[in-house]
Amino acid sequence: MDDGTAGAMDGALTEAEQELVRAAVAGQEADLKRQSVRASVLRELLLETRPGWALPPVGLRISRAVVQGCLDLDGCTLNKPLMLWHSRFEGGGQKGAILIRDGRLKRLGIYSCTVEGNIVADRAEVENGLFLGGGTITGTLMVRGASIGGALALEGTELGDGKAALLGAGLRVKGPLIVRRARMSGELALPRAHLEAGIYADGLKLRHEGIALNAESARIGGDILLPGAEIIGGVSLLNVRLEGRLSGEGLTIDGVPTALDARGLDVTHGIVLDNARLRGTLLLDGAAIGKAFRAEGIEVDGGEIAIGADVIHVGANWEMPRAKLIGQLRLPGARVEGQLRLTEMRLFGTDIALRGDGAWIRGGCFLSRATVFGLVRFPAAEFGNQFRMRRAIIKVEAGAALLASGTTFRRDVELTDGCEMTGAVILDQVQVMGALDLRGSRLKSAAIVRAGLPAPGGQHGAVEHADEIALSLVDADINRLVMPARAEDRPRGIVDLSRARAGSFEDYADAWPLPLKERARTKAGRDIDHLVLDGFAYEHLSNPAGLPPGGSGANHLKNENRVGLRRITWLEGQTARDVGAYFKPQAWVALAERLTHQGYLDDARTVEIARRRRERRSNSLTSAGRWQNRLLDWFALYGHNPWRTVMWMAVVVVMFAGV
């Protein structure tokens, strides 16, 4: 036994202890005016072991006391509350300051007190709540496996020894865990805990190397509120089931490499992280968010990955306007029932900045005025509303800037109002049920930005091809395709429309490719600034003459061949190979047929005649075929001018008559 226990058993009480007993038995608060009492006397008084030491229902209430030694209540049952104010526990040693392990208590309240050492309450049962408010605990609060009928409140308390502050594995609390404005040095551990009324941690300051707040696999019946909290160390909400919301407006976490690990989190309501500051990755892989995920103005410095959200499910909008992310934003396989709003985001990725392979977005995706360094990927995804990138800026060093091959867009895709892409826009095999609007966009292939120099890292094959692409719509199916209108907005690089299908096609001559001699080339001299039109089909030409916006649609009537001649210039925007030695006729045939269907018969004839003459100069015909082509041109203009045939017949008749 320690000296305090032995002294109590000999029956001698100090004046302070006598005053304590007198006040307690009378049901009064014992104000000991900074005098010392032994912990052993306090224990016997709580257990009512001596004759006449019967406590009234209000229990034991003490203020301004200094408790010497360890208050050992291991396995004890206290039927009366214990309440202390402005007191101090000292001298407990390694055993701890307060021991209530396996005990049963009515209520414990320690307010504005200093506790030198640990409070050990593992497996304890507290009927009406455990309150440690406003004081200092130099050790650890241990409540592993404990059951608390009311709240566990540490509001304004300074707690922890640097290694652990609160250890509560398997803790069950009927009321809330309240750590508002608490200052904790050491781990706050709540794995597998069951907190039926949530966690209130507004203004919490928590510091620990490694994981500072660990609530892995916990079941929380209310909210987790962390507004204004400052946490140095990681936060683990791995596989947590949260029946309220996770709110962390202004939250700061410094937890490199992982700031907040919420993989497998199941939250009934939403997540709010407005203006949070995270140094380390935010992991949400496999999370299920019942309502919105909102993180307006969030800043995440995650290194390689800023936010990982593979196969996340969000029950409403995902909103991150004005966010700043350093590292990749990953959401492959994500399912968002509302909108994905990334307006004015600043995203500094690696090679890939935003990865959304196979994502399903029920609403729209909004990246207007965003600035992104790195590839934006949405292959095989689906968007139920608009995909908007007005005034967005995306830059890569090589290859593609925006890749959404095989994606379905159920409304418009808008790359307008000064949208800048340094790198390829690859929308192969997409289905756009609205308009793909490129008016005001400025698309530049990475190769042209590098002035034709090789890609960094010696890239080859498909990557090298993408490096020279400005826009690729291979096999795309688009309801309405609108190209840039102004010369300064002309796509700089290869525009590949191979086998694309457009219900309506609207383009403007000012933004057509430059003449062959003026186009950008690689250092080896290869043309990397042209159109690819083989297989391109469209049901309607909205601007056949390519007139500038606001131009008179009747101007082409001044010259019946104007539309045809201007469209020939457009067709000549292909490579010299495709309009020369290895002539590809499909684009010419499709244009002539479309002009015919729209009533431009003479213009269609002009295009058809130009096609036949180019075929004659190509390698596709034999010498006999070239002569046949030449004779058809001379004698019948390929059947488009029967009067030429009549004239030749008349000449022949006159010649024979003369003979």
What are the pLDDT digits (tens) for 243-252? 999 999 999 9
Q: What would the two tokens of residue 90 be?
A: 């000292």
pLDDT mean over 291-295: 98
Question: In whole angstroms, how far apart are CA 468 and each of 300, 375, 419, 456?
Answer: 33, 15, 19, 13
Retrieve residue 367's tokens: 């990246």
Listed residue (161, 169, 170, 158) closest to 204, CA to CA: 158
pLDDT, position 464 = 60
Average pLDDT over residues 13-19: 94
488 and 439: one domain?
A: yes
73, 99 contact by CB (below 8 A):
yes
Q: What is the pLDDT of residue 642?
A: 66
Q: Note whether 521 and 595 are same-domain residues.
A: no
Highest mean pLDDT out of 11-15, 431-435, 645-649, 652-656 = 431-435
- Domain membership of residue 149 (yes or no) is no
Give the structural domain span for 632.
623-659
Q: For 165-221, how does the pLDDT look when each residue is reduced to its tens digit (9 = 90+)? A: 999 999 999 999 999 999 999 999 999 999 999 999 999 999 999 999 999 999 999
Q: Contact, 296 vs 343, CB < 8 A?
A: no
In a domain, 309, yes or no: yes
Same domain, 519 and 410: yes
Residue 654: which residues within 8 A CB-CB, separation 6 or more? none
Mean pLDDT of 248-265: 97
Tens digit of pLDDT for each residue in 124-181? Answer: 999 999 999 899 999 999 999 999 999 999 999 999 999 999 999 999 999 999 999 9
Q: What is the pLDDT of the chain when averaged over all its residues? A: 91
This prediction has a pTM of 0.90
pLDDT band at 554 (very low <50, low <70, confident <90, very high): very low
pLDDT for residue 4 is more than 50: no
CB 331 within 8 A of CB 309: yes
> Does residue 62 surpass a pLDDT of 70?
yes
If asked whether residues 76 and 95 sit together in one domain, one would say yes
What is the structure's pLDDT at 634? 60
Q: 41-45, 299-303, 462-466, 558-562: which has the minimum mean pLDDT? A: 558-562
By percentage, how much of the chain surpasses pLDDT 70? Answer: 91
pLDDT band at 635 (very low <50, low <70, confident <90, very high): low
Q: Looking at 128-174, which runs of residues are DSSP E strands?
A: 130-131, 136-137, 141-142, 147-148, 152-153, 158-159, 164-167, 172-173
Q: How confident is the model at residue 339 (pLDDT cuts 50, 70, 90)?
A: very high
Burial of residue 98, with CB atoms counted within 10 A of its CB: 0-12 exposed, 13-18 middle, 19 or more buried: buried
Q: 553 pLDDT exceeds 50?
A: no
Q: How is the chain split among helix, strand and coil, in percent rounded to 5?
A: 20, 35, 45
Q: Does one domain contain both 438 and 585? A: no
Task: Report, as an integer, the average pLDDT of 249-258.
Answer: 96
Note the pLDDT tens digit of each residue in 402-426: 999 999 999 999 999 999 999 999 9
Q: What average pLDDT does this structure show over 584-588?
A: 93
Q: What is the DSSP string of 536-601?
A: -EES-BSSTT-PPTT--TTGGGGSTTHHHHHHHHHHTTB-TTTTTTT---HHHHHHHHHHHHTT-H
Contact 132, 145 (CB under 8 A): no
Burial classification of residue 642, based on how many CB atoms lie within 10 Å of its CB (0-12 exposed, 13-18 middle, 19 or more buried)? exposed
* Averaged pLDDT, 354-358: 97
**Of the given ranges (230-244, 467-481, 614-628), which has the lowest mean pLDDT?**
614-628
- Tell me whether residue 117 is in a domain: no
Same domain assignment for residues 521 and 584: no
653 & 505 share domain: no
Query: What whole-number distance in Å separates Cα of residue 639 and Cα of residue 624?
Result: 19
The verdict on residue 307 lying in a domain is yes
Residue with tokens 């208050």, as numbered in its chain: 71
Residue 658 maps to a domain: yes
Q: What is the pLDDT of residue 119?
A: 97
Residue 58 lies in a domain: yes
Of 99, 133, 165, which one is at a domain's C-terminal end?
99
Q: Give the integer Cα–Cα distance in Å for 642 and 56.
A: 122
Q: Same domain for 259 and 321?
A: yes
d(CA 137, CA 188): 14
Same domain membership, residue 407 and residue 538: yes
In degrees and rounded to multiples of 5, residue 605 shows phi and psi of -65, -40
Element (H, E) at 424: strand 420-426
478-486 mean pLDDT: 97
Task: Look at residues 362, 394, 420 and tell me which one is the last residue of a structural domain.
Answer: 362
Q: In this structure, are 415 and 518 located in the same domain? A: yes
Contacts of residue 516, defined as CB under 8 A and 6 or more positions apart, other chains included, come to 527, 572, 576
Q: Is residue 123 part of a domain?
A: no
Q: What are phi and psi of 523, to 5 degrees?
A: -65, -25
Statement to judge: residues 516 and 601 lie in one domain: no
| Overall number of domains in the chain | 5
Tell me if 186 is assigned to some domain. Answer: no
Q: Are residues 647 and 521 in the same domain?
A: no
Q: In angstroms, what CA-CA distances link 450 with 353, 396, 444, 446, 462?
A: 21, 11, 10, 6, 18
d(CA 394, CA 418): 12
504 alpha carbon, distance to own chain's centre: 34
